[in-house]
């Protein structure tokens, strides 16, 4: 008697790995950048932190106390760049964990169905998890299982931006540039704006808050691609709107698109999928 192998894959639980990264990135960048932008927050010395229980050592300072405001502002500018790099890393590393689990599930199913021949599946999974960055993970998922988020090029551009922030102090090197010696970051966003019902004039909503309008306004929205272009030698600068849009991009577009590709793979492999309605109690 042949014993059937039953494997349960919780798709939403796997996708939650990436959503956790979105929330962590948004919160951590919010905490760090708010501190960097606050004019009254200038404490850069470690010894100003509260003393921990059991602490016995005397504080060691690496810079003089009470440095000029200009020096502290410079520290905070570099700190803001560091925080953005860390936030993007949090976002991307959690997405990579999501890709690892998708690849693992697909690998098990494909080898079981004999739709993929690998001499050592365990080695292939270990290589996928430990040796590949996100661009190569996406390429491997496409090649092996035809899973590809619609926004793969944008994800790769953000991965490269994170690397520039982490490894190059945020400065654009020539090897990161494409045609025209420029480096481009793109992401998809949902732009919300006000439009005059009589004239059709488009207005940015923040500028209308607290203001009397000359005509009735309709609140509209549309999906669009956002891009930021940097030249060789310039520094990556992203606004608070850029950062929340990038987090939104992963939450609304990247993660669902990757999840849908995973579901399509399961359907093509004739794997039963049970849709659980959270409104119905078990």
What number is the average pLDDT over the span 121-137?
A: 91
The answer to whether the pTM exceeds 0.85 is yes
Residue 279 has pLDDT above 50, yes or no: no
Q: DSSP string spanning 18-74? A: HHHHHHHHHHHHHHHHHHHH-TT-----GGGSPPPTT--SPP--SS-SS--HHHHHH
Q: DSSP string spanning 197-229? A: TTT--EE-HHHHTT---SS-EEEEEEEEEEEEE
Residue 281 has pLDDT above 70, yes or no: no
What is the Cα–Cα distance from 161 to 227, expressed in whole angstroms?
12
- pLDDT: which is higher, 118 or 35: 35
For residue 162, give the DSSP letter.
H
pLDDT of residue 2: 54
pLDDT, tens digit (0-9, with 9 covering 90-100), for 153-209: 999 999 999 999 999 989 999 999 988 889 999 999 988 888 888 888 888 888 888
Per-residue pLDDT band at 138 (split at 50, 70, 90): very high
Select the highest-mean-pLDDT range: 155-159, 167-171, 223-227, 264-268: 155-159
pLDDT of residue 117: 76
Per-residue pLDDT band at 250 (split at 50, 70, 90): very high
- pLDDT: which is higher, 100 or 131: 100
Task: For the chain, give the mean pLDDT.
Answer: 89
State whether residue 195 is helix, strand or coil.
strand
Closest CA to 160 of 236, 233, 109: 236
Residue 257 has pLDDT above 70, yes or no: yes
């Amino acid at each position: 008697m042949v014993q059937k192998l039953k494997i349960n894959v919780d798709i939403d639980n796997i996708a939650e790995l990436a959503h956790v990264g979105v929330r962590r990135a948004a919160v951590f960048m919010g905490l760090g950048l708010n501190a960097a932008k606050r004019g009254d927050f200038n404490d850069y010395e470690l010894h100003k932190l509260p003393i921990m229980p059991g602490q016995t050592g005397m504080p060691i300072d690496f810079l003089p106390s009470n440095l000029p405001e200009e020096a502290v502002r410079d520290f905070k500018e570099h700190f803001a760049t560091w925080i953005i790099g860390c936030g993007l890393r949090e976002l991307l590393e959690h997405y990579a964990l999501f890709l690892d689990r998708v690849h693992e599930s697909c690998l098990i199913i494909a080898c079981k169905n004999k739709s993929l021949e690998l001499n050592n599946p365990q080695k292939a999974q270990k290589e996928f998890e430990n040796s590949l960055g996100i661009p190569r993970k996406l390429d491997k998922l496409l090649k092996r299982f035809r899973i590809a988020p619609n926004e793969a090029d944008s994800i790769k551009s953000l991965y490269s931006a994170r690397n520039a922030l982490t490894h190059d102090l945020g400065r654009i090197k020539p090897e990161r540039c494409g045609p025209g010696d420029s480096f481009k970051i793109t992401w998809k966003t949902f732009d919300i704006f006000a439009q005059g019902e009589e004239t059709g004039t488009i207005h940015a909503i923040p500028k209308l808050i607290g203001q009397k309008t000359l005509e009735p306004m309709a609140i509209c929205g549309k999906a669009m691609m956002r891009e930021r272009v940097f030249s060789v030698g310039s520094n990556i600068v992203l606004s608070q709107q850029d950062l929340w849009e990038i987090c939104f991009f992963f939450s609304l577009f990247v993660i669902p698109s990757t999840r849908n590709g995973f579901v399509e793979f399961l359907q093509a492999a004739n794997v039963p999928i049970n849709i659980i309605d959270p409104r119905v109690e078990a």
